[in-house]
Each structure stands twice: as C-alpha cells, then as structure tokens.
Amino acid sequence: MQTPTDSTPIFDPFVIKQPTCISFSGGRTSAYMLWRVLQSNHGLPNDSIVCFANTGKEMPETLEFIKECSTRWKIPITWLEYKYDDDSHKRFKEVTYETASRNGEPFAEMIDKNGKPFLPNPVMRICTVRLKIDPVYRYLKSIGWDDWDNMIGIRADEQRRAAKIRANPSDGRSGIFRLVPLADAKVTKEIVGDFWKKQDFDLGLPNHNGVTMHGNCDLCFLKPAKQIFSLIAEKPERAIWWVQMESKVESKTGAFSDSARFRKDRPSYSEMAKFAAQQKDMFDADEEAIACFCGD
C-alpha cells in the first residue's frame, strides 16, 4: 500500500476537471458542497455551472437562501423551471429569484400536461424527473453541452443513495456522469451542521439533528406522514395546493382511484388537514422519509 508523502497528490473530489453542473437544491448540504467546490477551485471554474430547478413548492426561505449564496459568494446560479411548450420539446424556462414561481405553478402544469391523469407517487416519481432532472438536462443541452459531470449533494451518511448513483452514474442519459463528492470526502450531516453554525448567514429553516423538515417541496409526499401532519398543523394553508391537486385528479378518475392520491397508503391531504384542525394525531413518529434526487 502506498504511503502518502509530500509529493503524493491528495485526491480532492471537489476539483473540477471538465464541464460540470453543480446541482443546488437550496438546502444546507448542497450549499456546503458548492462552497467546497469554490474553495477547491479558487472560485467557480469557467467550464462549470450551478443550477437550481424550482418546482414552485419550495419554502420561501429556500429561495432566499439560494439568492444569498449567490450574492455573498459572488457566483451566478441558473434558475430553471418546467414549462410545457406545444411548439417544441424545450420543456423548461429560465427564471430569476424575482420571477420564480411560488405557488406550485410548474408542478401543477406538469400534472395537467401529463397525458393521462395521475399524481406522482413513491413508485412513479415523475415530479423528480420532470421538474428537477429534465429541466437541467435540457438546459445544458440547449447551451451546447454534450458531455459533463453532475455533482449531487449526497453525504457519506447517505451511503445507500450514494451507492445507487455510483452503480448507475449516467442514469440512462448519454453524456452525463454523476458524482457524489460529499460522500467521497466522507462529509456527514454533522460536518455540514457545524459548518453552518460558524457562518454569518444560514438557511432560515429549523435544523433537527441535521434534517430540515421544512426543506424541498413543503409537503412532499416522500416525507413521513407525521412530519407532513406537523407542517400542516403549523401552517394549515400549506395543505391547500396539495388538496387541490388530489381533488382535481379525483374529479377526472373517480374518488377511489389510486391515481388521485399522492400516497395510497395514508390518508389524503384533505383528511390530514382535517385531522390537524381537530388536533388528532394518528401517525408513526418513527416513519422514515423516502430518499429523493431533490437532496438537502
């Protein structure tokens, strides 16, 4: 086994050597990944780009945090959204902090333009693909990129997720090689948490043992039911959009159709909103969240 010496180069997974997209979800983990990239490359290299894909259901604090990272670190961040276009296969549009959707418009349009009426669910996560992955992929293709690395903010304590990406780095898309530099550098949620405690700005959402309950889409169906229930109880109006989407598809498919629910294994968002209003709790506190590309 080779013994490191002063002349032995140290592998740095954050060093960029070819065109690279840094996927920024707007959470603390992906922001820390971006910071490490800036440190390792003495800024943002010319052949790299930072992309954020907005679903319209992110928390306001997430959008503020992305804007602040861009301003404080003096780097451009490309904001993208799903947008259906009858005249082309573009399926994305560029937005800014000021023009970004804040009421679920891209998400609702994706559901409406899906073809047959059904909602995303844990088995068919079309929201992840069409709202997060596709807009970034199509944007990079539109600016002439054919072959690039894609850095994703998955930590060392998320080994199952990291292993899936390492086993399938292209995810079936030509030209992409997905990287997990945080996992490679053995960065854990504790390291990320300690970093943000020392900064003079932070994501304005609570951090519970390294988990941001409010992060990503506000009431994402991949979150544990008890967590969703808690978020509805905290702010009942959060449920309105989700109730509307289930009601909309239900009206087209029938009240007992599985396609009219984000999750068929738990009460509807309407029922959860009623439980919250009645202060009734019926969910397992130990249920785990389902991992998603959206990251933290």
Query: What CATH number does the domain located at 20-197 have?
Result: 3.40.50.620
The CA-atom distances, in angstroms, between 60 and each of 98, 169, 295 are 12, 32, 17
22: nearest Cα among 6, 11, 8, 38: 38
Quick one: pLDDT at residue 211? 74
Quick one: pLDDT at residue 1? 38
The percent of residues in the chain predicted with pLDDT above 90, rounded, is 72
Higher pLDDT, 1 or 68: 68
Q: For 90-145, write each residue's pLDDT tens digit.
A: 899 999 999 999 999 999 999 998 888 889 999 999 999 999 999 999 999 999 99
Q: For 224-254, write each residue's pLDDT tens digit.
A: 988 899 999 999 999 999 999 999 999 988 8
Please calculate the CA angle 91-213-68 and round it to the nearest 5 degrees. 65
Q: For 157-184, write each residue's pLDDT tens digit.
A: 999 999 999 999 999 998 999 999 999 9
What long-range pairs does 203-208 form, CB within 8 A, spacing at least 24? 203/26, 203/27, 203/28, 203/31, 203/61, 203/62, 203/65, 204/61, 204/64, 204/65, 205/59, 205/61, 205/62, 207/28
181: nearest Cα among 199, 200, 166: 166
Quick one: pLDDT at residue 280? 59
Q: Is the pLDDT of residue 291 over 60?
A: no
The percent of residues in the chain predicted with pLDDT above 70, rounded, is 89
Task: State the Cα–Cα distance between residues 70 and 272, nearest whole angstrom.
Answer: 37
Q: Is the pLDDT of residue 88 over 70?
A: no
Quick one: pLDDT at residue 278? 82
- Report yes or no: 249 and 259 within 8 Å, Cβ to Cβ: yes
What ranges do the domains of the chain cover?
20-197
Quick one: pLDDT at residue 2? 42
Q: How confident is the model at residue 206 (pLDDT cuts 50, 70, 90)?
A: confident
Name the phi and psi angles at 48, rounded to 5.
-135, 160
- Mean of pLDDT values over 43-66: 97
- Report yes or no: 110 and 127 within 8 Å, Cβ to Cβ: yes
Higher pLDDT, 83 or 293: 83
Quick one: pLDDT at residue 99? 98
Quick one: pLDDT at residue 4? 45
User: Regarding beta strands 48-54 and 20-23, do their DSSP bridges make them parallel or antiparallel, or are they unpaired?
Assistant: parallel
Taking each helix axis from N to C end, the angle separating 105-112 and 239-253, rounded to the nearest 10 degrees, works out to 10
Q: How confident is the model at residue 3 (pLDDT cuts 50, 70, 90)?
A: very low
Please calculate the CA angle 96-76-48 and round it to the nearest 5 degrees. 125
Q: Is the pLDDT of residue 5 over 80?
A: no
- Average pLDDT over the chain reads 89
